[in-house]
């Protein structure tokens, strides 16, 4: 299986070129312009977008279940394990939210 080339346009110098897409850690598609070497980013693939939505929804339900009082009691407990667990839940919430916000900005740009 060969890698699929995609026709893209550089964000900086507007050069059109074909390139094999690379993926960032969060699943964004990344291209490097052969002319000016700057990087252009493209929105998430549908699979990533759906996954981030599912994680964000599950984690916000988890937050609702813990509640503000629950978070406060974890903070008051002084337990390192409980802190860690809370930190992981926060990360699991902010990473998908961050990715979805960035995705929506890139998608707006793509249709503009
Ligand atoms: Zn360029």
Domains in the chain: boundaries? 1-42, 44-112
How far CA 101 is from CA of 5, 55, 57, 79, in Å, comes to 27, 14, 15, 33
Residues with CB under 5 A from ligand 1 (ion): 10, 12-13, 15, 33, 35-36
Determine the distance separating the centroid of ligand 1 and the alpha carbon of 23, expressed in angstroms.
18
Position 82 pLDDT exceeds 80: yes
- pLDDT tens figures, 49-66: 999 999 999 999 988 998
Determine the distance separating the centroid of ligand 1 and the alpha carbon of 13, expressed in angstroms.
4
pTM of this prediction?
0.78
DSSP label of 12: T
Average pLDDT over residues 62-91: 90
For residue 106, which of 27, 35, 19 has the smallest C-alpha distance? 27
């Amino acid at each position: 299986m060969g890698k699929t080339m995609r026709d893209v346009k550089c964000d900086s110098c507007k050069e059109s070129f074909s390139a094999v897409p690379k993926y960032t850690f969060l699943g964004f598609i990344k291209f490097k312009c052969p002319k000016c070497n700057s990087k252009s980013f493209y929105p998430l693939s549908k699979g990533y977008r759906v996954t981030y939505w599912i994680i964000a929804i599950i984690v916000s339900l988890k937050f609702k279940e813990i509640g503000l009082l629950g978070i406060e009691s974890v903070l008051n407990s002084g337990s390192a394990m409980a802190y860690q667990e809370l930190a992981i839940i926060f990360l699991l919430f902010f990473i998908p939210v961050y990715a979805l916000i960035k995705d929506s900005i890139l998608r707006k740009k793509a249709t503009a």
